[in-house]
Structure 1
């Protein structure tokens, strides 16, 4: 007989507690058996089992020999998992006097600790024993310490609720939120998050509270599926105890140590792992920075320096970056200069126009069929190959060997662009791409064959100034892959570049690097890029760094995060997802078309079904990402509001629903992401909710 799962235990406890949640005052107590780390029926620790509920805790300490260490260890185990331990209770005894030490210890940590006399010894007569215990309970429950504990515990709970309810209004006064127009924000729309665990936030909104007050619903907090993966960072679930323990260990071992001219084990291990697991023989050096934006700025500095040295350019030369329209590579001034202005549907005054942007073919599922649509201004291409060329499966899109006609046209187009730029006297310093998926620009699935051809073209493009250099440095302009979003299993593989079968000179990784817990970024470069900065003059060095460069806590968490995801890749955690898409991909393909291995955590049946919705323009899914482009009569753009209605439906839910879906939109595109740890059963329920919301 299989052991009872954590999910079933949690559901039973939740339902039982919910049955007590009436309009009247009341208290329910869950008493656990054994220690906080004792196993649950499934084998997980009880601290992990009950964590999604995050109930306030009364910790019963140990008054016996060794009890001080046992009690403190139990508290630390709860504290590091995000529990609020309100009080600690112990028996008072004179031999070890644990209660006196622990009272002072916890007082320093703003935790109330109290003690009560131990119970009487067992009497030989059953009736006498029962009467003695009854007298003990009556006396002890009325003592000042117990009475004070009861009041403090209830007051702390009331204060927690009061603070939570006040947060939206207080945030409206004090917080400047990113990426939003604040005229659209109010205390009624700000979401207060009490905690997060696994795939879910525990959320509160004043609007939600008002709805509860006008109905039989008496739940203050509502779980909300983290549909945006917390700005694409979430990989191993919120509150992951393995990552929390790893972070605590690194904080205790190192804190933060400077990295200039120094090294520590977590940073060295992470650098070696990134170089090895990328599968890119060009890469040999890892540069650390704080986040994806700064990592991309570092990458641009690397590429432009290398291009300048290789071509003999000087500081006065205007050097352009070649990229794709609707690209976006971060929020530093250096990378904003390289973003195509139309991403915001208006020109922002600080853009300096240092990029040259190409339109590109996109992969879409429309009405149940995979198509590759070329840009409208590629008129010759539409005549020769047809706009919206259909493919039998997603794998067939990645089957480059059977797309020779597309390859020939793409190569001709890319070489023509480069020749035109050269004829105009333009100096191109680097090619910068988000492989496969352009994220912030609107979740656009670029035709991987086009991106591959673009890399091949710039690799064979070389100026006369490079003709006498060695093969590595002469291999065209530097190629930067921005894998901040798409790398490290977000699309199902360690490296998004592997989908294209090419080896960039510079790769930037962040977001899933630490499993979603901490900011950290790696910019991994080739030896030739590194050598472009070597000189006897310090001013020629890459003078870029941050106070928290390669912080030990982040590097240690990144190592643990990558270890977990690589193990999941090896042990078949995603096998059911892969099998689903393997069947869909092979359904009508020839043997030569099979094996590309494109798959998603979102079911192929669901993706096909929503592509037929009347308000859906197209849809696609890859890895943990699902993108749904909704029709907008005013035109699809970053400024479109076509998807906000569906987003709001998902977050509002239906009356009586226990949980909702928190998501974000990019113009007319609604996107959802799973964590790499999200269960298939969870996604099936979410798919049903999304399907209904699209009606």
Structure 2
């Protein structure tokens, strides 16, 4: 595993020197700062690093010799040298090209060695301009972002330099860099210096400092003497001293802020899903930044025994940031999409209007769903409100078709443990539980079926029946492969669904016979998420849909037949709502989770992965028959629901880019490594894999091993990017159980001592969440095979130590 490690130590200051363009004086400024740091902090050490250099090898030597000659005592290194004087990506052609992660690892290793010497300075000089490509072709602005180095930006003092400098700054800013100061050579001809000072100080509060331009080049001997005099003067100048003092203050302020955040947050923040009486500052994780699948989290608290210990470490985002993260933190394409929409629109009101991102997103969603029913898209802010919209739609349609009065008490049909959000209406669609039973306005409106769940136990796939229902549903069933579980056609051909349907129909008839009325079936396809990360037997969910759809006479006591019911795209029985907020959009390996059930929704809700984890947005998709239930000459009959930020352009544009990226990844086969991995024991061979289209990033050998840890594990499963481990629980299953906390704690402690591929200076951990006795780990759609393999090893170590 090779997570990128940020470069932050408590008493070792690291700054990255970027240039607005080539030939703007990066090396001159960096050498001046190195020399001045040696003079001002004489007891500390100073280092210079050039990760990538191009041109003849003697030029790289000249660079290091230049620093050594004019800043004696400074440690210096060039990591990669390509002999052609051109962009690194072109110079590296035909040569050995390290991956971006390998290059960043080399940078971290050098910085770690320097930090181990004690307090000091390191200046990392980039090559060319901000977007000059690295050896792999990734531009430097993206390549080095995960290092989280504060930046010294060297402005261009030449003609056109103002525009280049501002553009370079904006490129860095939009990628999360902290530009601490901007340096520029004085030039009376163009006077870029004064404009940049006014612009950056006035608009961004960033200090701009200037030094005299170095003397023009003459010959080598004279140049050496002239530059020696220049460096001697400028390294002792008031301007240079102020630059370093400013950088030193900014470094100390960053450390102090990180150290104080836990305590301040503990006093001032009201956290979600947190019992604050049981909370403490030590339980709060400080996230300095995030990149890819990793947070960069604080590990060195006040009173740390070693000032040389890294202050930050990578933490794998094991909950995918509450299930939203799909394309990696800091994804540049998503960021640019957000910036584009913010710059073009900001936010514009939506009622009675349309803008391109909203229309394009609606059209893309409807096309990608490949549904014969869904024709309309309603926008809201998050999954919970999206579900409330869906319920409003469905209940109105059912009431009008069956002629119920407006004040009729109408409930919903769902699954036990189903969770659809924390707004009052969404909570009312779930059975009483830890999430809602103490909420003063909660009034559960429905019935909730218990269901068979699927787990891997001792290397086999078991469908576990609820104990109280075994007389109705039969005994537990065992399958050799998950493919067999999801092969609904084969199971239905053997009439395995009939017991389910009889139980569902009998229970439903009993409730209807007691005067209950229901307006919708609402459930999460395949996986019940917050209700315990349960993999539901898909045949049971299919049976539930089928029974509800063919039971119109049960719901309409007068057996009325409304016009249009013969339309195959129209709902029958009750509208079926699929809550795909969590499970949809490739979370389980497919664009839509409902496809596993072989049936379509009348209303479908999507959020979370919709925007790749960047901004909130939810969509509720509905059929035309649902839409027409709100058509009337009376405005009061409309769907009177909306939000100030309905269909906000930033969210819609980001969602478009998110879907574009995920669909392109699927088209390019970027998940083939997971689809083609050895799931043969789990899925029943490659032929069945192709048939069922079941795959997971979590390897079968991990599931097989975990499922055999029967002393502590009740079962496990994996699908798409989700791995769920159900721990045996003496305190009972459910949200209040503490059975998974020990496993969570081990993963949080992480790779303290290092392993074969890492050292203690490059430790990492897994930031995970538990749902009672269940610990789950969720990758993104960009999680790599190497990362999965290393996390799998850590999980195995954790369970051995359990």
Instruction: Please state whether the residue corresponding to 2:116 is helix, strand or coil.
Output: coil
Contact 1:582–1:597, Cα closer than 8 Å, also in 2: no
Shift of the alpha carbon at 1:23?
Answer: 6.9
Match of 1:412? Answer: 502
Match of 1:237? Answer: 328
Contact 1:39–1:46, Cα closer than 8 Å, also in 2: yes
Shift of the alpha carbon at 1:410?
Answer: 1.5
Distance in 1 between the 2:162 and 2:274 partners?
A: 50
Match of 1:514? Answer: 611
TM-superposition CA deviations, 1:52-104 (whole Å, max 9, x none): 11101001111111111111111100000000000111111111111111111
Match of 1:324? Answer: 415
Shift of the alpha carbon at 1:604?
Answer: 1.1
Mapping 1:633-644, distance limit 5 Å: 633-644=730-741
Distance in 2 between the 1:374 and 1:2 partners?
A: 57
1:459 pairs, out of 549, 565, 568, with: 549
Kindly tell me: are residues 28 and 466 of structure 1, through their superposed partners in 2, closer, same or farther at Cα, counting changes over 3 Å?
A: farther
Instruction: Please state whether the residue corresponding to 2:589 is helix, strand or coil.
Output: coil
Residue 138 (structure 2) pairs with residue 26 (structure 1)? no
Match of 2:539? Answer: 449
TM-superposition CA deviations, 1:522-546 (whole Å, max 9, x none): 0000001111011111111111111
Shift of the alpha carbon at 1:651?
Answer: 1.0
Instruction: Please state whether the residue corresponding to 1:135 is helix, strand or coil.
Output: helix
Instruction: Please state whether the residue corresponding to 1:598 is helix, strand or coil.
Output: coil
Shift of the alpha carbon at 1:646?
Answer: 1.1
Residue 666 (structure 2) pairs with residue 577 (structure 1)? no
Contact 1:345–1:639, Cα closer than 8 Å, also in 2: no
Distance in 2 between the 1:3 and 1:363 partners?
A: 45
Distance in 2 between the 1:538 and 1:175 partners?
A: 42
1:154 pairs, out of 245, 248, 270, with: 248
Distance in 2 between the 1:265 and 1:332 partners?
A: 30
Match of 2:392? Answer: 301
1:226 pairs, out of 285, 310, 317, with: 317
TM-superposition CA deviations, 1:146-189 (whole Å, max 9, x none): 11111101111110111111111111111000001001211111
Distance in 2 between the 1:379 and 1:201 partners?
A: 45
Instruction: Please state whether the residue corresponding to 2:157 is helix, strand or coil.
Output: coil
Residue 478 (structure 2) pairs with residue 390 (structure 1)? yes
Match of 1:110? Answer: 205
Match of 1:609? Answer: 705
Provide the aligned C-alpha RMSD in A. Answer: 1.7
Distance in 2 between the 1:506 and 1:373 partners?
A: 29
Match of 1:100? Answer: 194
Distance in 2 between the 1:597 and 1:225 partners?
A: 27
Mapping 1:103-502, distance limit 5 Å: 103-108=197-202, 109-124=204-219, 126-204=220-298, 208-209=300-301, 213-214=304-305, 218-344=309-435, 348-381=439-472, 385-387=474-476, 389-403=477-491, 404-462=494-552, 463=556, 464-470=558-564, 471-472=566-567, 473=570, 475-502=572-599
TM-score by length of 2: 0.84
Distance in 1 between the 2:432 and 2:457 partners?
A: 28
Mapping 1:543-582, distance limit 5 Å: 543-580=640-677
Instruction: Please state whether the residue corresponding to 2:120 is helix, strand or coil.
Output: coil
TM-superposition CA deviations, 1:597-630 (whole Å, max 9, x none): 1111111111111111121110000100110011
1:525 pairs, out of 606, 610, 622, with: 622
Kindly tell me: are residues 570 and 588 of structure 1, through their superposed partners in 2, closer, same or farther at Cα, counting changes over 3 Å?
A: closer
Instruction: Please state whether the residue corresponding to 2:281 is helix, strand or coil.
Output: coil
Residue 636 (structure 2) pairs with residue 539 (structure 1)? yes
Distance in 1 between the 2:253 and 2:690 partners?
A: 59
Between stretches 459-468 and 448-457, larger displacement belongs to 459-468
Distance in 1 between the 2:437 and 2:379 partners?
A: 33
Distance in 2 between the 1:313 and 1:173 partners?
A: 51
Instruction: Please state whether the residue corresponding to 2:119 is helix, strand or coil.
Output: coil
Residue 763 (structure 2) pairs with residue 658 (structure 1)? yes
Contact 2:679–2:699, Cα closer than 8 Å, also in 1: no
Distance in 1 between the 2:307 and 2:350 partners?
A: 57
Distance in 1 between the 2:581 and 2:538 partners?
A: 17
Shift of the alpha carbon at 1:214?
Answer: 3.1
Shift of the alpha carbon at 1:466?
Answer: 4.1
Contact 2:472–2:503, Cα closer than 8 Å, also in 1: no
Match of 1:600? Answer: 696
Distance in 2 between the 1:156 and 1:619 partners?
A: 48
Contact 1:85–1:111, Cα closer than 8 Å, also in 2: yes
Residue 715 (structure 2) pairs with residue 625 (structure 1)? no
Kindly tell me: are residues 276 and 547 of structure 1, through their superposed partners in 2, closer, same or farther at Cα, counting changes over 3 Å?
A: same
Instruction: Please state whether the residue corresponding to 1:331 is helix, strand or coil.
Output: coil
Distance in 2 between the 1:23 and 1:612 partners?
A: 47
TM-score by length of 1: 0.96
Shift of the alpha carbon at 1:515?
Answer: 0.2
